[in-house]
Amino acid sequence: MSTLVVTNVGELTTNDPALGDESSLGRLHDAAFVVDDEQVLWVGANADAPDADEAIDAHGAAVIPGFVDSHTHLVFAGERSDEFEARMAGRRYDGGGIARTVASTRAATEEQLRIGAAERVGELRAGGVTTLEIKSGYELTTEGEVRCLEVAGDFTSERTWLGAHVVPPEFASDRDGYLDLLTTTMLEACAPHAKWADVFCDRGAFSVDEARTILLRARELGLAPRLHANQLAHSGAIGLAVDLECASVDHCTYLEDSDIDMLAGSATVATLLPGAEFSTRSPYPSARRLIDVGATVALATDCNPGSSYVTSMAFVIALAVREMAMSVDEALWSATKGGALALRRSDVGHLGVGACANFAILDAPRAAHLAYRPGAQIVATTHRAAP
């Protein structure tokens, strides 16, 4: 095992409140840190930096924990930019285009799916993502969902079964038949290939009662629940997520005060996906109200071909700061530690001693440049020791 010391870090964000300024960002200035092939070994003042086998001089640049992108749908084939253009011209997003991606994905070879996913993962990594979640949900057959989870397994252990994305066209007049397939054959075949189960619980997708049945069955088969909720309309889905102790409830575009109160008192992370509001011209979620009442907020890309073809966490942070009244530090925390909490991971999303040695060196003196210079390539190097 070899060691690496990174010196002359102008601004080091550790997300470990025991370090530096003792804020939740655990921030140090003029700092250094040491990692081995796996984990962080030491963090402190640059002047006290110990020797190591290798050294990187950051020349005053900022360093942050690697981003944890806790919500992506990046195994897919096909092309839907025409839907984006139509929305920018005034058309509403209703999830109807999912069926187009299902048709293209079913028609693709496994190798084509793998190549497409690898390209998107490459873009995420270049932008500082070191841990990512990937959902299935674009084949909606037993074999197809297994295939997508297997492709996802090339890139992450955080795999989510989303067979309950929408009812596929061949079951359009047999909804019960699809619900039966989901909760029997498909879940049984997919459970060994996933850690999480998700349901798109919203207008035009699955109801709260259907989502409950599907997630309870998934739980019996060893999958931990999470939920897509309130992207298109108000519903009781937030209550369901809290009730089932979902690790996270994602989108939260439409929230009642009672939803916000429920999230505040829960262990369920509210994962906000502003790339989706940007790409569907929808109102942004109430991040400020969630944070002010003490709910835990994560930020993720939602990378998918329909509602958010976004592979830049920096862009997500910029949107959260500009459009959702989050401070840069809040957005940075939500894109790192918040994402880790949404995946119930204590080993990533921070740079405390013992954490995975996952970090990004920025081409900027302060992490604020992630939002301050939207569109610029602010992440210079992504260092990833563990998924």
Residues that bind Fe ion (CB under 5 A): 302
245: number of Cβ within 10 Å = 12
If the CB atoms of residues 84 and 333 are measured against ligand NIG, the closer one turns out to be 84
Pick what 231 binds: ligand NIG, Fe ion, none; C-beta below 5 to 8 Å, kind-dependent. Answer: ligand NIG
If the CB atoms of residues 46 and 253 are measured against ligand NIG, the closer one turns out to be 253
77: number of Cβ within 10 Å = 20
CA distance 64 to 49: 18
Q: Indicate which single residue of 159, 228, 337, 369 sits in contact with ligand NIG (rule: CB under 6 A).
A: 228
Structure-token pair, residue 287 = 């991040």
Contact between 159 and ligand NIG per CB under 6 A: no
CB of 320 to Fe ion, least distance (A): 16
44 alpha carbon, distance to own chain's centre: 30
Residues 6+ apart with CB under 8 A from 380: 61, 360, 361, 362, 363
Q: Indicate which single residue of 16, 145, 302, 330 sits in contact with ligand NIG (rule: CB under 6 A).
A: 302
If the CB atoms of residues 158 and 302 are measured against Fe ion, the closer one turns out to be 302
Q: Do the beta carbons of residue 65 and residue 25 sit within 8 Å? A: no
Q: Indicate which single residue of 13, 136, 307, 336 sits in contact with ligand NIG (rule: CB under 6 A).
A: 307
Contact between 98 and ligand NIG per CB under 6 A: yes
198: number of Cβ within 10 Å = 30
β pairing state of 269-272 and 158-164: unpaired
Contact between 305 and ligand NIG per CB under 6 A: yes
Pick what 276 binds: Fe ion, ligand NIG, none; C-beta below 5 to 8 Å, kind-dependent. Answer: ligand NIG
Pick what 339 binds: ligand NIG, Fe ion, none; C-beta below 5 to 8 Å, kind-dependent. Answer: none
Q: How is 321-366 classified by DSSP, letter by letter?
A: HHHS---HHHHHHIIIIIHHHHTT-SSSS--STTSB--EEEESSSS
Question: Which residues from 195-224 bind ligand NIG, rule CB under 6 A?
Answer: 200
Residue with tokens 């009442």: 293
Q: Do the beta carbons of residue 285 and residue 310 sit within 8 Å? A: no
If the CB atoms of residues 11 and 302 are measured against Fe ion, the closer one turns out to be 302
Pick what 98 binds: ligand NIG, Fe ion, none; C-beta below 5 to 8 Å, kind-dependent. Answer: ligand NIG
Pick what 268 binds: Fe ion, ligand NIG, none; C-beta below 5 to 8 Å, kind-dependent. Answer: none
CB of 251 to ligand NIG, least distance (A): 7
Interface residues with ligand NIG (CB under 6 A)?
73, 95, 97-98, 101, 200, 228, 231, 276, 302, 304-308
